[in-house]
Structure 1
Amino acid sequence: MKRDCYSLLALVLIAFLAGCDSVNTVEPANPKAEPNLIAIQKVETDPALARKVSVQNVNEGKAGDLIRVQVELENMNYGPEDFNYQFTWVEKDGFEVQSPPALWKPGFILGRERIYLSGIAPNPRVVDFRLKLLARETYNATVGGGHGPRR
C-alpha cells in the first residue's frame, strides 16, 4: 500500500513538473518570408519600459496602398509587463495625420515572451510612422492621468 502511494505521488509530481515546462515554438528551418526590416529609431520607449522590454525588429510592408508595420518586442524579465502604445502616422509633407486621432492602446507581455504589435496607416498619403511605448505607470502619470486611454 505504501509503495502504491509513493508511485502515485511520483506520477503526480512528474505530471506537475511536465506542465511547468515552457512552450516550444516550431518554425521552418528555412523560412520563405523575407521581412523588410527598418530602423528601430522609429520606436520611442520611456526609460522605465526600456529596461524591461526591448524592440527586436521593425518590419514595414504594404497592405494594398497603405503602409503596414509590425514591431517585435521581447520582455527581458521573468515577470509580466503592462504598457501602452500608440502608432502615429506622418504624411509626405512631414505633418502628423490628425484624422482619425492616434489612440493609446493597452498592451501586455508575459515574462521572457516575444510579441508583435501591428498597425496600418489610415490613408494612402502616409509615408512614415512612429511608435511610442510607455510603461503603464508612466502612461498613467503623464498621458492617461489614471483614467485610461485618452485620444
Structure 2
Amino acid sequence: MKYIAPLLAALVLSACSSRPVTSGISVEQHQNSFSDQLRVDNPNLAKKLAITDVKTRQTNQLTDVVVTLSSNYKKSQYLQYQFNWFDKDGFIIKGNHSPWQALTLFGFAKTQLPGLAPSPDAVTFSLAVREVSTKSQEFKD
C-alpha cells in the first residue's frame, strides 16, 4: 500500500508533460527535436543543423526566445539566420523583416540565437538559416 502513492504521483506527473508551452509561445517538440521551427532550403545544409533547445519568456508583452542551434558537421559553417513570427492563425506577422544575422558555427558546436517577437500577437516562430558563400566573387565587364 505504501508504494501505490509514489507510483500514482509519478504516473500523473508523466501524463502532464506532453508538450512544452511557455510564455504563450507553443513549441512543438517531436522526439526531442524542434525540426518544425527550423527552415533550411538547402537539403545538404539541413542535415548539418538542428535546433536542440528553445527557451521563451515574456518581456514587456513581447515574447523573447533563445534558440540553441547545433552543428552536426565536423567543419565550420558560415551562415546567416533570421526569425519569422506568426500569429495564432499561422499568418506571418507584418513588419517582420529583420535583417539576416551573420553566424559562424564551428564543427559540432552549439550556439544560442536570441529573438524578440515584433508584436504581442506572435504565438509561434520559425528560424530560417542559409549558407554564406566563402568563395570570392569577381565581376566581369
Q: TM-score surpassing 0.5?
A: yes
Distance 1:38 1:91 in 2: 13
Q: Write the mapping of 1:2-151 to structure 2, written as runs, cut at 5 A.
A: 38-39=27-28, 40=34, 41-45=36-40, 46-137=42-133
Alpha carbons of structure 1 residues 38 and 87: separation in structure 2 relative to 1, 3 Å:
same
Distance 1:102 1:88 in 2: 8
Distance 1:108 1:119 in 2: 17
SS at match of 1:78: coil
TM-score (norm 1): 0.59
- Structure 2 spans left out of the alignment, 5+ residues: 1-20, 29-33
Distance 1:132 1:71 in 2: 12
Greater share of residues in helix? 1
TM-score (norm 2): 0.62
AA matched with 1:51: K
List 4+ stretches of structure 1 deviating above 6 A.
Answer: none
Superposition RMSD on alpha carbons, in Å? Answer: 2.6
SS at match of 1:50: helix
SS at match of 2:123: strand
**What is the deviation of 1:70?**
1.4
Question: Retained in 2: the 8 A contact 1:75–1:114?
Answer: yes
Q: Counterpart of 1:21?
A: none
Distance 1:100 1:75 in 2: 26
Deviations along 1:61-87, whole A, 9 cap, x unmatched?
Answer: 222311111111122223211111111
AA matched with 1:50: A
Question: Retained in 2: the 8 A contact 1:88–1:131?
Answer: yes
AA matched with 1:77: Y
Distance 1:57 1:50 in 2: 17
AA matched with 2:122: V
Question: Retained in 2: the 8 A contact 1:67–1:120?
Answer: yes
Alpha carbons of structure 1 residues 132 and 52: separation in structure 2 relative to 1, 3 Å:
same
Distance 1:54 1:60 in 2: 18
Structure of larger gyration radius: 1
Distance 1:52 1:42 in 2: 15
User: Mean Cα displacement is larger for which, 101-110 or 111-120?
Assistant: 101-110
